[in-house]
């Protein structure tokens, strides 16, 4: 129905076309966006008074190709807060250029979103982590960015943000504090962690040597998403909160018989889904957009 952009990047007019189309399809005006990682799409099902739109119907939108990513944009209310939820995200390993991977984040900005909640499934590098732990993201390491694969490369879109955005405050500290408080109130302290997420390109899982290196660099968890979206969200001036569900432990020992696989990722998501959804739901109910909790 809509021709896909074939240019090396989108213009502000492309973003506005998509945002205006979405606003014409729903009466919801979201202040919070939630991006669901592998196996975590159930978060979107908790929204009330839903408007559901398939990615394939949205102008300029990429298509999700990964098992566990439904490929739907869902508008609705979560605990009385207007939200939009991505039930499935995009990745570099699907073959998309980075400006397509991050396309929805700028759409959220034009929809009026002020806070973005990022979720992902990740491998645990920290030796104290266990499968099923939930890691609150306090920082990240952008490995593709070291090679120049950053979503802000190219002409800067001044309508969204400054040429050189700061990333030392990428993850909002007040939101992180709120999440810690909510986790304690829910009795989740035994499996709630806080750490640094490292992104790689994928789709192959990491070698033992790579896991050892990343651990020594200070990464607590590793995955194939999220960081590119965070950079764009901060460039747009939106607040960011992120969490990783530790779905597998990175293999560090050459004698180990463990093997990372995507099925384990999805299965762990199912097992921890209820508690994760309760945490996010409680967290959203406490978010205010004047920075006062």
Quick check: helix, strand or coil at residue 52? strand
Question: pLDDT class for 293, splitting at 50, 70, 90?
Answer: very low
Burial, 168: exposed, middle or buried (Cβ in 10 Å; 0-12, 13-18, 19+)? exposed
Q: Full-prediction pTM beyond 0.85?
A: yes
The pLDDT, as a whole number, for residue 253 is 86
Q: Mean pLDDT over residues 134-158, rounded?
A: 96
Residue ranges per structural domain of the chain: 12-286
The pLDDT, as a whole number, for residue 68 is 59
- Is residue 121 annotated as a catalytic residue, yes or no? yes
Question: pLDDT class for 67, splitting at 50, 70, 90?
Answer: low
Provide the strand spans (E) within 200-280: 221-223, 239-249
- Is residue 224 annotated as a catalytic residue, yes or no? yes
pLDDT greater than 80 at residue 274: yes
- Is residue 96 annotated as a catalytic residue, yes or no? no
The pLDDT, as a whole number, for residue 1 is 40
Question: pLDDT class for 117, splitting at 50, 70, 90?
Answer: very high
The pLDDT, as a whole number, for residue 2 is 39
pLDDT greater than 50 at residue 4: no
Q: Mean pLDDT over residues 146-151, rounded?
A: 96
Catalytic residue among 5, 60, 142, 248: 248
pLDDT greater than 70 at residue 288: yes
Catalytic residue among 70, 77, 79, 93: 93
**Measured between alpha carbons, how far is 130 from 9 in angstroms, rounded to an integer?**
40
Q: Which residues contact 287 (CB under 8 A, 6 or more apart)?
A: 32, 81, 115, 175, 178, 293
Three-state secondary structure readout of 93-156: HHCCCHHHHCHHHHHHHHHCCCEEEEEEEEEECCCCCCCCCEEEEEEEEEHHHHCCCCCCCCCC
Q: What is the mean pLDDT of the chain?
A: 91
CATH superfamily, domain 12-286, is: Nucleoside phosphorylase domain (3.40.50.1580)
Catalytic residue among 121, 137, 182, 238: 121
- Is residue 91 annotated as a catalytic residue, yes or no? yes
- Is residue 94 annotated as a catalytic residue, yes or no? yes
Catalytic residue among 15, 86, 91, 182: 91
More confident residue, 248 or 52: 52
Question: pLDDT class for 3, splitting at 50, 70, 90?
Answer: very low
């Amino acid at each position: 129905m809509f021709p896909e952009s074939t240019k090396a990047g989108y213009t502000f007019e492309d973003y506005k076309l998509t945002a205006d189309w979405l606003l014409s399809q729903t009466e919801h005006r979201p202040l919070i966006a939630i991006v669901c990682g592998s196996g975590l799409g159930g978060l979107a099902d908790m929204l009330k008074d839903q408007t559901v739109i398939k990615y394939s119907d949205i102008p300029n939108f990429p298509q999700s190709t990964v098992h566990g990513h439904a490929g739907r944009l869902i508008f609705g209310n979560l605990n009385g807060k207007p939200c939009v939820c991505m039930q499935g995200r995009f990745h570099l390993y699907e073959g998309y250029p980075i400006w397509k991977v991050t396309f929805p984040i700028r759409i959220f900005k034009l929809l009026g979103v002020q806070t973005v909640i990022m979720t992902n499934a990740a491998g645990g590098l920290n030796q104290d982590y266990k499968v099923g732990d939930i890691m609150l993201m306090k920082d990240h390491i952008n490995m593709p960015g070291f090679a120049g694969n950053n979503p802000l490369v190219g002409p800067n879109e001044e309508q969204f943000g400054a040429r050189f955005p700061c990333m030392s405050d990428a993850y909002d500290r007040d939101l992180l504090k709120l999440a810690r408080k909510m986790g304690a109130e829910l009795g989740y302290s035994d499996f709630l962690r806080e750490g640094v997420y490292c992104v790689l390109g994928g789709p192959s899982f990491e070698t033992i040597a790579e896991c050892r290196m990343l651990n020594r660099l200070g990464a607590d968890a590793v995955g194939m998403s999220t960081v590119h979206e965070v950079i764009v969200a901060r460039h747009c001036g939106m607040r960011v909160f992120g969490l990783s569900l530790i779905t597998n432990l990175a293999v560090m020992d050459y004698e180990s018989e463990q093997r990372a696989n995507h099925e384990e990722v999805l299965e762990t998501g199912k097992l921890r889904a209820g508690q994760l959804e309760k945490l996010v739901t409680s967290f959203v109910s406490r978010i205010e957009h004047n920075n006062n909790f």
